[in-house]
């Protein structure tokens, strides 16, 4: 019983520190310190695990990947996102279907508050078909986030891959169906809206070319990750750096973009996650206690569903529930032979992301709602029932299989 009191205390410390707006990475490091104090034999063991963790290949690799993603995001923003999104609109004549592509495209780039980027276009097109503020909010927010279950540029997926030491393409393969589910939910909502046809202002071939060139860096990364033998960090950094070099701006601007992409908050987050993971995984006390409970269904569902949902709601970011909980539940998700049970992993990931999607502290949701001046209660009347299948379908898969 005392063990679980300590575990609960560590989770409370983490959540409370977030509520006081302490950086997530620092919050995880504080939680790691308490793990050391509760479950380690002394200062030397604590310091040894800490040093080994921050200097490990996995930590360095993750920092390189996340930095490279931020670099690519800034390069694409410099090129001009609006040209790409407007070209997408030119390809489709139906406004109610064209409106989904700007947020979908931006969703391929993991930017904090990224749902705000296509809001202007969504607002303009939404006015053409008399969409309410809450409907615009949902469309802009929902289609921005349909990729996060499997897209390899998202920190949550990268952290999942590195924490479990499994190739990211394996995680992508098993969680892809959730993106299909999310897309179909969005289309079901779109079908209920009225429609207006739009005329093309530029040749279709030019619009297609603009879209292809806009997608090219992202597509290149995904193809190389899936089909080449190069390491992920080498692929993402090389592609990002190459497109920075060929960007049509001066050398001073390129240097500025390169430096601007260094995010100390993101580096702290990665270090915090990796240290937290290692403090958990290196404690024999924690391992033995979780092994005792992993075969009990009640504990199983609390750890894989209930707590991830709560952490997702409290923090509004998927890196948080992945970082703090995945090291804990890895004894449940990993089979006896060390391989990953992807049904359980998907249930865990979907549960946490369900919480993130309905979280009022999720930056994309709060910014989008504010932009469209939508009513919170009316937004949730659309959003909550739409997110339920994301939680329930993986649960049904787990129960059946």
Residues 6+ apart with CB under 8 A from 110: 69, 73, 151, 153, 154, 155
pLDDT tens-place string over residues 307-336: 899 888 877 778 778 987 888 888 889 887
The reported pLDDT for the residue numbered 211 is 79
The reported pLDDT for the residue numbered 59 is 85
What b/e string do you get for 67-88 counting C-beta neighbours within 10 Å, with b at 16 or more? Answer: bbbbbbbbbbebbebeebbbbb
The reported pLDDT for the residue numbered 14 is 77
The reported pLDDT for the residue numbered 354 is 97
Give counts: helices (H), strands (E), the chain.
22, 0
| CA atoms of 241 and 244, how far apart (whole Å) | 5
Contact 179, 146 (CB under 8 A): yes
The reported pLDDT for the residue numbered 124 is 78
Contact 275, 54 (CB under 8 A): yes
The reported pLDDT for the residue numbered 27 is 84
| CA atoms of 376 and 383, how far apart (whole Å) | 10
Contact 139, 372 (CB under 8 A): no
Backbone angles phi, psi at 270, to 5 degrees: -65, -45
The reported pLDDT for the residue numbered 305 is 92
What b/e string do you get for 249-274 counting C-beta neighbours within 10 Å, with b at 16 or more? Answer: eeeeebeebbeebeeeebbbbbbbbb
Token reading at 303: 């750890």
pLDDT < 50: residue spans in the chain: none
Question: Of 155, 75, 145, nearest to 114 (Cα)?
Answer: 145
Contact 312, 354 (CB under 8 A): yes
Residues 6+ apart with CB under 8 A from 95: 125, 128, 129, 195, 196, 197, 198
The reported pLDDT for the residue numbered 256 is 93
Backbone angles phi, psi at 370, to 5 degrees: -65, -40
Question: End-to-end alpha-carbon separation of the chain, Å?
Answer: 32
The reported pLDDT for the residue numbered 42 is 83
The reported pLDDT for the residue numbered 150 is 92
| CA atoms of 50 and 140, how far apart (whole Å) | 41
The reported pLDDT for the residue numbered 148 is 93
| CA atoms of 175 and 66, how far apart (whole Å) | 21
């Amino acid at each position: 019983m005392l063990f679980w009191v300590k575990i609960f205390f560590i989770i409370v410390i983490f959540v409370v520190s977030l509520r006081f707006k302490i950086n997530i990475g620092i919050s995880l490091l504080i939680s790691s310190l308490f793990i050391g104090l509760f479950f380690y034999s002394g200062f030397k063991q604590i310091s040894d695990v800490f040093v080994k963790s921050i200097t490990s290949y996995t930590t360095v690799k993750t920092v390189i990947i996340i930095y490279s993603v931020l670099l690519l995001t800034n390069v694409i923003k410099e090129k001009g996102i609006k040209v790409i999104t407007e070209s997408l609109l030119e390809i489709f004549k139906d406004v109610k279907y064209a409106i989904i592509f700007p947020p979908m495209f931006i969703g391929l780039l993991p930017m904090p508050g990224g749902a705000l980027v296509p809001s202007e276009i969504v607002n303009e097109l939404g006015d053409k078909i008399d969409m309410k503020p809450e409907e615009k909010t949902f469309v802009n927010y929902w289609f921005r986030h349909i990729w996060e279950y499997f897209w390899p540029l998202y920190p949550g997926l990268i952290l999942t891959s590195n924490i479990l030491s499994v190739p990211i393409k394996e995680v992508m393969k098993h969680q892809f169906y959730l993106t299909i589910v999310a897309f179909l939910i969005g289309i079901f909502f779109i079908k209920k809206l009225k429609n207006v046809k739009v005329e093309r202002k530029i040749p279709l071939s030019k619009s297609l070319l603009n879209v292809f060139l806009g997608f090219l860096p992202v597509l290149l990364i995904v193809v190389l990750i899936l089909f080449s033998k190069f390491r992920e960090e080498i692929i993402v950094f090389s592609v990002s750096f190459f497109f920075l070099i060929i960007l049509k701006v001066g050398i001073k601007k390129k240097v500025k973009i390169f430096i601007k992409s260094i995010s100390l908050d993101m580096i702290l987050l990665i270090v915090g996650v990796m240290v937290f993971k290692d403090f958990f995984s290196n404690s024999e006390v924690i391992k033995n206690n979780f092994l005792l409970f992993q075969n009990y269904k009640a504990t199983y569902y609390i750890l894989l569903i209930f707590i991830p949902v709560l952490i997702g709601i409290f923090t509004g970011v998927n890196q948080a529930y992945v970082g703090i909980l995945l090291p804990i539940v890895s004894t449940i998700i990993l089979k006896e032979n060390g391989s990953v049970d992807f049904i359980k992993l998907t249930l865990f990931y979907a549960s946490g992301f369900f919480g993130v999607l309905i979280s009022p502290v999720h930056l994309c949701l709060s910014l989008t709602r504010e932009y469209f001046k939508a009513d919170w209660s009316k937004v949730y009347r659309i959003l909550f029932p739409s997110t339920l299948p994301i939680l329930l379908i993986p649960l049904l898969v787990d129960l059946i299989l």
